[in-house]
Amino acid sequence: MNNDFRHQFWKQQIQTSMIVCVGVMAAAMAMIWICTYDLDMAIRIRGVILAAGISGILAPLGSAYAIRQNSRHLSLHLQYERLANSDDLTGLANRRCFNRRGAARLASAGRSQTALLLVDIDWFKRVNDMHGHEAGDDVLCHVAQTLIHAAPDGALIARLGGEEFTIMCEISGPEELNRLAEKLRRATEATHIIYHGEVISVTISLGLAIARPGDTLSALLSRADKALYGAKDHGRNRFAVAA
């Protein structure tokens, strides 16, 4: 999204700069030509050439300065946008961003089915109690990276808060969703974290839900949340599908 925005920005800046430069040169040449109407033709032509040369130097310099300032403003805008929409710790989308983008995805879903996976780190409080909050932060970042690498391309991955994450993606049907959930579960279970020489093993529980016609994001999250509680009630390190 930011790459597209930057591309459009630079395209617009270059087009505007060219229009301004040509306009300034044309205006300067026309002004000299009109103002010297009573002079010799050779003098008028030299004046027009001089006006074209000076404006041809000054106009690009002014445009370059304006583009530089606009580029700085763009960088600040993108930085503020990233801070407003990203989780500080993991770099994933935050709840605010997920609510906006998730609702938009749900509203524009095509023929493919939209699935939502709610992910919760098992016994996360024990990690904080036994190893400290810095270890807990490492676990959160580790799980975030695991989800990024195991999730399908184009999936919307977010940290909703605490130890809870969510993934929204397009699927062909329930079978594909089950395979994805098992892939995420196994990928997390198969890795561990070394914190100050101690091994920390992590597992996750998942609640799965497939969007229905007319579903809102809130309704989809609610069903996935109920399925997640079912997975946790049946022993954790597993997934459950919403009814």
- What residues act catalytically? 163
| Residue given tokens 């023929």 in the structure block | 111
Cβ neighbour number for residue 177 with a 10 Å cutoff: 21
Q: What is the rounded distance in angstroms from the CA atom of residue 47 to the CA atom of residue 75?
A: 42
Neighbours of 42 (CB within 10 A): 8
Cross-strand pairs, 35: none
| Contact between 221 and 118 (Cβ < 8 Å) | yes
